[in-house]
Amino acid sequence: MKKILLAAVLFIATSATIQAQLLQIGVKAGVNFASQTGDASMQGVAFDKDGITSYHAGLVAEIKLLDKFSVQPELLYSTQGATYKNAVDEFKNELGYLSIPVMAKFYLTDSFSLEVGPQASFLLSEKNDFDVKDAETFEFGLNAGVGFKITKNFFVQGRYGLGLTEASKNADVKNSTVQISAGFMF
């Protein structure tokens, strides 16, 4: 009986250790340098675009599949958009998304990784300085970037995200975002 109990305890401890090595969950946050690409004319009036600085924050998981390959799904709140100007008006269009990137991570060393993957984003809020609610409610895009593990738990990431679908119903624009993140894995 003692041998069976000891074997069960060793099995559970080994399983927990293996699971901890295969799956890590954490949090991340950072700054967005966001802009919108494409034609910025609205209702026949041309506008110049400038980027905005905003933020992102959320949950992250890393699933180790091979020695040098992991998949990293994330659940982030991310604000994107741009500032529009013409000779008469200037307004800021800030879009708040629930973004779900799924990144393939290729480790070049134990600490340094290249990341690439798709992202689905769902519009949660739209703040602008004019009375038009014209943002699309869904956006699909691609991300690419790099990651660096400072320690076993702390990491930093840099990423570029390009929207592949239109961000607006009335203008031919797509979101473009550079993200700098820091995070902690539990």
- Reported as a pLDDT band with limits 50, 70 and 90, residue 4 is low
Nearest to 93 by CA among 85, 103, 82, 101: 82
pLDDT of residue 33: 97
Distance CA 72, CA 116 (A): 10
Distance CA 149, CA 28 (A): 13
Distance CA 129, CA 138 (A): 22
Q: What is the 3-state secondary structure (H, E, C) of 118-170?
A: EEEEEEEEEEECCCCCCECCEEEEEEEEEEEECCCCEEEEEEEEEECCCCECC
Cβ atoms within 10 Å of 182's Cβ, excluding its own = 14
Distance CA 166, CA 171 (A): 8
State percent of the chain over pLDDT 90. Answer: 63
pLDDT of residue 10: 46
Q: Is the pLDDT of residue 17 over 60?
A: no
pLDDT of residue 13: 43
pLDDT of residue 15: 43
Tell me the per-residue pLDDT of 101-134, one tens digit each, with 9 for 90 and over: 999 999 999 999 999 999 999 999 998 755 556 7
Highest mean pLDDT among 12-26, 37-51, 146-160 belongs to: 146-160
Tell me the per-residue pLDDT of 135-178, one tens digit each, with 9 for 90 and over: 889 999 999 999 999 999 999 999 999 999 988 877 788 999 99
